[in-house]
C-alpha cells in the first residue's frame, strides 16, 4: 500500500517572486541543453542555491525537488493563462473575461513568450494539414532544356496551400534534375 503524501503549505508570493527572479537571472545554466557531468553539476548547484535562498525567507522549508516541481507548475499556469487570454481575444464576446495573469505569471510569460514550445512555430502548420502531392513523370530534360511532361495531383483539401510555395518547390526540384546531352 502506497504511503499518502503529506500536503505542504501554499507558497507565499515572496517565495514565488524569488524563484522567478532567480530563474530569470540563471536561465542559461538551469535550461542548458547539454547533459554532461559538468553541466548537470552546475544545474544542481543552481537549484540548491535557489532552494537555500527560498528557505532563508523562513516561511517553510522546501526541497530541491519541490522547487523544481513548483517552477514547472508556474510555467504551466502561465501557459494556460496566456492561452486563455489569446483564445478570448479571438472570440466575438459574451461571457465573463478570463482571469488576468498574476505578477509571477506575467513575468514568466515575458521570459518565455518567444519560444516555440510556448507560442508555436511562426509560419508552421499542423501535421494533419493536407499536402499536395507532385508527381513528375518522365521529367528528364531534353537537350533544349524543356521538360517533356509534369503532372500535378492534388488532394481535395490541398487548396489551402499557397501556390507560390508550391511553385518555388517545383523550381528547386526541376532545376536539380540532371540534363542528358
Q: 180 lies in a domain?
A: no
Are residues 75 and 102 part of one domain? yes
Are residues 139 and 113 part of one domain? no
Q: 125 lies in a domain?
A: no
Are residues 137 and 115 part of one domain? no
Q: What is the pTM of this model?
A: 0.62
Range of the domain at 79: 13-119
User: Which three three-digit cell numbers place residue 50?
Assistant: 535557489
- d(CA 39, CA 111) in angstroms, rounded, equals 22
Give the SS3 label for residue 144.
coil
pLDDT (tens digit per residue) in 109-143: 888 888 777 777 777 666 665 555 555 555 544 55
Look up cell 532544356; give the residue. Answer: 145
Q: Which of 61, 24, 65 is nearest to 47 (CA)?
A: 65
Are residues 141 and 115 part of one domain? no
Q: Is the pLDDT of residue 63 over 90?
A: yes
Name the domain count of the chain: 2
Amino acid at each position: 500500500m502506497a504511503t499518502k503524501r503529506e500536503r505542504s503549505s501554499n507558497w507565499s508570493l515572496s517565495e514565488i517572486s524569488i524563484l522567478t527572479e532567480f530563474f530569470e537571472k540563471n536561465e542559461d545554466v538551469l535550461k542548458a541543453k547539454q547533459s554532461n557531468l559538468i553541466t548537470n553539476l552546475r544545474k544542481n548547484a543552481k537549484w540548491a542555491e535557489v532552494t537555500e535562498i527560498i528557505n532563508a525567507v523562513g516561511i517553510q522549508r522546501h526541497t530541491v525537488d519541490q522547487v523544481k516541481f513548483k517552477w514547472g507548475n508556474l510555467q504551466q499556469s502561465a501557459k494556460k493563462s496566456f492561452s486563455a487570454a489569446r483564445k478570448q481575444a479571438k472570440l466575438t464576446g459574451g461571457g465573463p473575461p478570463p482571469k488576468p495573469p498574476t505578477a509571477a505569471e506575467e513575468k514568466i510569460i515575458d521570459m518565455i513568450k518567444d519560444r516555440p514550445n510556448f507560442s508555436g512555430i511562426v509560419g508552421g502548420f499542423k501535421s494533419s494539414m493536407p499536402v499536395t502531392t507532385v508527381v513528375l513523370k518522365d521529367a528528364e530534360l531534353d537537350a533544349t532544356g524543356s521538360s517533356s511532361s509534369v503532372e500535378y495531383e492534388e488532394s481535395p483539401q490541398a487548396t489551402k496551400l499557397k501556390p507560390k510555395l508550391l511553385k518555388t518547390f517545383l523550381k528547386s526540384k526541376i532545376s536539380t534534375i540532371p540534363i542528358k546531352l
